[in-house]
Structure 1
Amino acid sequence: MGSPGAFQVSEDKESIEEETAGLTGEPPKEKEAIEVEQRVRALRWSPLSWFRMLADEMHWSFVFGVVIVNGISQGLGGAIWRVASDYYWKDVQKVQPSAAQVYHGITSLPWIVKPLWGILTDVLPVAGYRRRPYLILAGLVGVISMLTLSLHSKLHVVFALMAMTAGSAGVAIADVTVDACVAQNSINHPALAADMQSLCGLSSSIGSLLGFLISGLLVHAISSQGVLGLISIPFALVFSVGLVLKEMRTPNFPYRQVYQKFLQASQTMWTTLRCPDVWRPCLYMYLSLSLSLNIQEGMFYWYTDSTSGPSFSQGTIGFIFSVGSVGSLLGVLLYQNVLKECPFRCLLFWSQLLSSFSGMLDLILVFRLNLKVGMPDYFFVVIDDCVSQMVGQLKWMPLLVLSSKLCPMGIEGTFFALLMSIDNAGVLTSSWAGGLLLHMLKVTRAEFSNLWVAVLVRNIMRALPLALLCLVPKSDLSSTILPADMLTGNHELEAHEAEVDDIELVSLVDKS
């Protein structure tokens, strides 16, 4: 129930909006959205003014948080971590490529439980704040785990695995928390929703490119353990984001209702997953990713082998991965400008087929056929990685769009995190299955005679999801997939949000 003062404020606000609408011929909210959109268009080609505009509209701490989490922590730090962790398992822990493949899969487990982090940030505030404590926790966990890996030269492999998994959890928690902030600001500033996504993507892409460029040089200069210690700096910056992020505090939060909210969200997600229009595409996404076996560690060990492989240096490895990130960016641009209107089945068919064919480049490389035609290993690997990353992005983009169209109203953020967890489960299965394949073929640190068999099996497996395209809807980007009753929203949630709005309005009146 609202107080009389709250009713009077609401009435005055409506009368002002009606007078403004009568003078301009447009509703005030629509006029404001048009003005913001015109301002964005005017500043689009001026990066500094564009950043300043975003900071003015949504507070500088939000822009700072997106750049730090997406650009510095996940982009720059993630790229450096990928190269440093490969050399850490190979040179420090001295494990076999099959074991390293399994360990990389284990460290990705925190990304599979992303819905848990999402629900926690949504329904379980700490000290009255929903986002800031989780950013502080993510930064603290990351700093401790990276320093542990860096300072202990003879750390047992189990504890090293636990530390790397904890660091991965820190990145995942920070990523989910910032995604929640972006979603919340997209609702409050709908005209800037696309600009916020562009800010996230731009920060991540530039960070990854810079990270891969310097990763190999850093490993060569201060070793893989030293580089892992440097990654504690991005985590410290994430910690600082939690300290400065502007967020409204919610005092006297009813913690007794947390269990009920958890239960309600879980029931809604289960009901949605039981719908055939939802579980069939989810099954395809999981199978298509899990059947594309990951044997990257076997290829990495072969890249750096001086007897059977090309014996690439640390700097060369980092540069190869950086060119791969350029190929991924080209894939995004190609999808955005040319292919985004294609039906899901058509685009997934060709991207899956190209993925199988592009894998044959690795077969040419392992057989050293490129040397017979006068093409150096370095040049051929750069082309191979660029093409593979571009094709992989062309396959991933429609899966992201399809996932966004499977989310019911009311639990969009949590359900999208659930779908991403299903995809991450497919990636984990792919990594573990690839490690098992390398172990069965006896591909070790110094034995690569059967590596070509692993490449061939992987390429054949990549073609198998073509038989499962019947699980994917025939619709395109502009069509709806969910039934109409799932698009009407959650009435209980809407009533709860209305009640929260009344409470906030009363508090504003009391303060005035």
Structure 2
Amino acid sequence: MGSHEIQSLEEKQCLVVNPEPRVLQNNGRRTFFRLLREPFDWLSMLCRELETSFILAIIVVYGFSQGFSGSFFKVVTDYYWKDVQQVQPSAVQLYQGLYVMPWIMKPIWGLLTDVFSIAGYKRRPYFMLAGTLGSLCALLLLQKKPPVLFALIFLTGISTAMSIADVTIDACIARSSIQKPALASDMQSLCGFVSSTGAILGYSTSGMLVHTLGAQGTLGLLTLPLIMIITLGFTMNEAKGMIRTDKKMFAKVNGAVLDMIKTMKYPGVWKPSLYMYLSITLSISTHEGQFYWYTDPKAGPAFSKEFVGVIYAIGAVGSIVGVILYHKFFKEFPFRTVIFFAQLLYGVSGMLDLMFVLRLNLKLGVPDYVFVIMEEMCARIISRIRWMPMIILITRLCPLGIEGTFFALLMCIDSTGSLSSKWGGSLVLQLLKVTRTDFRNLWLALLIRNLLRISTLALIFLVPKAGPADAMLPDEMLDASRNDHDKEEGLQLVCP
């Protein structure tokens, strides 16, 4: 073989070998763009299946009202009670329990939106009412250090506005989950994603704004997302229904109450509802004790206002990660399986808080700011994975026709559990004498909380073994609901 032939053979081999890296590079690039495009394709699918207007309404309520306003409200009110009103941490948890009350009243708001129309409309007026009430209360908080009672009333008014808006959109979500059960997990994933995204924005800006404007001035900014709720009420294209007479309205209320009682008697409904309440109640809240310790310059790490906001913002990122993990890997698993392992991890991960308060992280050479970010991220991922199957299960337990009221009733159980958790934690902090300056027994409160979380596993038998796509209610109950329920409503926004 001559030299020219050898050279020709080598060139042919190069033609075969050299394209391989280019092919791999192109495949990698296509994979990257496919992954980048996947969330948009998913969102497009939801818009196609559920209507774009409905998806926009979810983004407004869950993203701006619950996500942004909820996170903003949490951080700013912590500093408001600590710096402006200067009350003890156990008292703050007691006050927080009081402005959880509107969320416990969600069945009443749900009954209003399902039964009582205003001028023939069942959704628009309640969005406008919620936004107006919340905006007014936020503006009243701007007056110079109102008495504690008035401050509590105004904060409760803001919380009431958020809960009414939440109930109104939840009724639409529950209806869609009944009609398209295969998309129930997707809808809750969307709610969790936009809520967490809004929370990132709220948490990341709250600390900086409190530092700049003060806690009291920053509370006035809550009017902005509440005005968006008012706008949603004006722009919603809702078909005007018949105005019922008093007798028909009373009959409708009576029928809704009887249907709720009948549904709650079904073991497949009351058992998981009982588990949800007990799992939340037994995880007593020690948040205010930890918050005061975080910001204490002597006993604690003395985190700044800006860094406290960053901690919570990173936690919101963890919530998004939890939503993505559940949606990608766990949404097809049975409810009991996911909740059991998530609850176990929830109790174990709480020990990170205990290590932090005991300053074990410093003995291990881990700085405070690194450890608290790691702990918050871990806790929020696990908490979101634990919460997702429970909320999906709730949407699958709602009979058609009273879905708004019944979903609100089940979520009221969640809020009642949260109230019990806050007041139970307040009692523990009070008994252990954890104050604004004394944190010697805070570690014991955390240990009690973690043991109670783990003890919840003994109640896992109350959760059904069924999966998200399985029927939760008997056919006769669903058929009766379909026969009695009014003309289907749509949630559509008027294009400007």
- TM-score > 0.5 by shorter chain: yes
Query: Contact conserved, 1:44 with 1:50, CA < 8 A, in 2?
Result: no
Answer yes or no: is the 8 Å Cα contact 1:331–1:393 preserved in 2.
Answer: yes
Match of 2:329 in 1: 338
Distance change >3 Å, CA 190–CA 430, structure 1 → 2: closer
Instruction: Indicate if the aligned counterparts of 1:65 and 1:238 stay in contact, CA closer than 8 A.
Output: no
Q: Deviations over 1:297-339 (max 9, x none)?
A: 1000000000000000011000000111111111122222222
- Does residue 400 of structure 2 align to residue 413 of structure 1? no
Matched, 1:91 2:83: yes
Alignment check: 8 A CA contact 2:174 2:403 kept? no
The verdict on how the C-alpha distance between 1:210 and 1:345 changes in structure 2, with shifts beyond 3 A counting, is same
Judged with a 3 Å threshold, the aligned counterparts in structure 2 of structure 1 residues 361 and 186 are, in CA distance, closer, same or farther, namely: closer
Deviation at 1:256, TM superposition (A): 3.1
Unaligned 5+ runs, structure 1: 1-40, 501-512
Do structure 1's residue 214 and structure 2's residue 213 form an aligned pair? no
Q: Deviations over 1:239-276 (max 9, x none)?
A: 12212221122354434311111111111111111122
1:110-259 correspondence runs (5 A): 110-150=102-142, 152-182=143-173, 200-250=191-241, 252-259=243-250
Cα deviation code 1:359-379 (max 9, x no counterpart): 111111111111112111111
Partner of 1:292: 283
Task: Report the secondary structure of 1:231's partner residue.
Answer: helix
Moved more, 478-487 or 222-231: 478-487
Once the two structures are superposed, what CA deviation does each residue of 1:406-457 show, in whole Å capped at 9, x if it has no partner?
2234333322221111111111101110011001101000000110110111
- Equivalent residue in structure 1 for 2:439, among 445, 448, 452: 448
Alignment of 1:107 with 2:99, yes or no, is yes
Contact 1:298 1:443 in 2 (8 A): yes
Give yes or no for contact 2:138–2:158 (8 Å, CA) kept in 1: yes
CA contact (8 A) 1:55 1:63 kept: no
1:382 paired to 2:373? yes
Match of 2:23 in 1: none
Deviations 1:81-114 (A, max 9, x none): 1100100011111111011111111111111121
Aligned-partner residue type, residue 369 of structure 1: L
1: CA distance between counterparts of 2:363 and 2:184? 52
SS at structure 1 position matched to 2:122 = coil
Conservation of the 8 A alpha-carbon contact between 1:284 and 1:468: yes
TM-score normalized with structure 1 length: 0.82
Number of residue pairs matched by the alignment: 455
Q: For residues 94 and 214 of structure 2, what CA distance do their matches in structure 1 show?
A: 23
Does the CA-based 8 Å contact 1:217-1:314 persist in structure 2?
Answer: yes
1:277 correspondence with 2:268: yes
Whether contact under 8 Å (1:136, 1:242) holds in the other structure is yes
8 Å contact kept, 2:295–2:302? yes
The reply to whether residue 457 of structure 1 matches residue 448 of structure 2 is yes
- Quick one: structure 1 residues 192 and 484, their matched pair in 2 at CA, closer, same or farther if it must change by over 3 Å? closer
Q: Distance in 1 between matches of 2:50 and 2:337?
A: 40
Quote how far apart the aligned CAs of 1:221 are: 0.6
SS in 2 for 1:489: helix
Give the Cα–Cα distance (whole angstroms) in 2 for the partners of residues 476 and 46 of structure 1: 24
Q: Identity of counterpart residues, as a percentage?
A: 47
Q: CA deviation at 1:199?
A: 5.3
Partner of 1:489: 480
**1:346 CA displacement:** 2.5
Q: Which deviates the most, 183-192 or 132-141? A: 183-192
> Aligned partner of 1:143: which letter?
S
User: Aligned partners of 1:373, 1:279: CA distance in 2, in Å?
Assistant: 46
**Structure 2 counterpart SS, 1:430:** helix
Q: Which residue of 2 aligns with 1:365?
A: 356
Letter in 1 for 2:392: V
1:429–1:193 CA distance, 2 compared to 1 (3 A) = closer
Going from structure 1 to structure 2, the CA distance change for 1:497 and 1:299 (only over 3 Å counts) comes to same
The 2-side partners of 1:58 and 1:125 are apart by 24
Deviates more, 1:318-327 or 1:240-249: 240-249
Q: Is the 8 A contact 1:58 1:185 kept in 2?
A: no
RMSD: 2.9
Match in the other structure for 1:21? none
Find 2:429's aligned residue among 433, 438, 445.
438
CA distance in 2, matches of 1:51, 1:497: 27
Quote the Cα distance in structure 2 between the aligned partners of 1:429 and 1:263. 30
Tell me, in whole angstroms, the C-alpha distance in 2 between the residues paired with 1:371 and 1:198: 37
**1:124/1:255 contact within 8 Å kept:** no
- The more displaced of 177-186 and 235-244 is 177-186
Residue by residue over 1:40-72, the C-alpha shift from the partner in whole angstroms, topping out at 9 and shown as x without a partner, is x9x976959968995999576x56544332222
Q: In structure 2, the residue corresponding to 1:424 is in which secondary structure?
A: helix
Contact 1:410 1:489 survives alignment (8 Å): no
Question: What residue ranges of structure 2 are gaps of 5+ in the alignment?
Answer: 1-33, 490-496
Structure 2 SS opposite 1:287 = helix
> What secondary structure is seen at the aligned counterpart in 1 of 2:416?
helix
Q: Name the amino acid aligned to 1:470.
A: F
* CA distance in 1 between partners of 2:283 and 2:43 (Å): 40
Relative contact order, CA 8 A, sep 6+: which one is greater? 2
1:481/1:458 CA distance change after superposition, 3 Å: same
Structure 1: distance between partners of 2:462 and 2:175: 32
What secondary structure does 1:487 align onto?
helix
- 2:46·2:55 contact (CA, 8 Å) conserved in 1? no
Deviations 1:103-159 (A, max 9, x none): 111111111121211221121111221111111110111011111112x22211111
1:474 match: secondary structure: coil
Most deviating of 71-80 and 247-256:
247-256
Deviation at 1:477, TM superposition (A): 3.1
> In structure 1, what is the equivalent of residue 339 of structure 2?
348
Q: In the aligned structure 2, how far is the partner of 1:405 from the partner of 1:193?
A: 8
Of 303, 312, 323 in structure 2, the residue corresponding to residue 321 of structure 1 is: 312
Q: What are the residue-to-residue correspondences of 1:25-64 with 2, within 5 Å?
A: 54=47, 58=51
Determine if contact 2:114/2:404 at 8 Å carries over to the other structure. no
Match of 1:11 in 2: none
> Does the alignment pair 1:469 with 2:467?
no
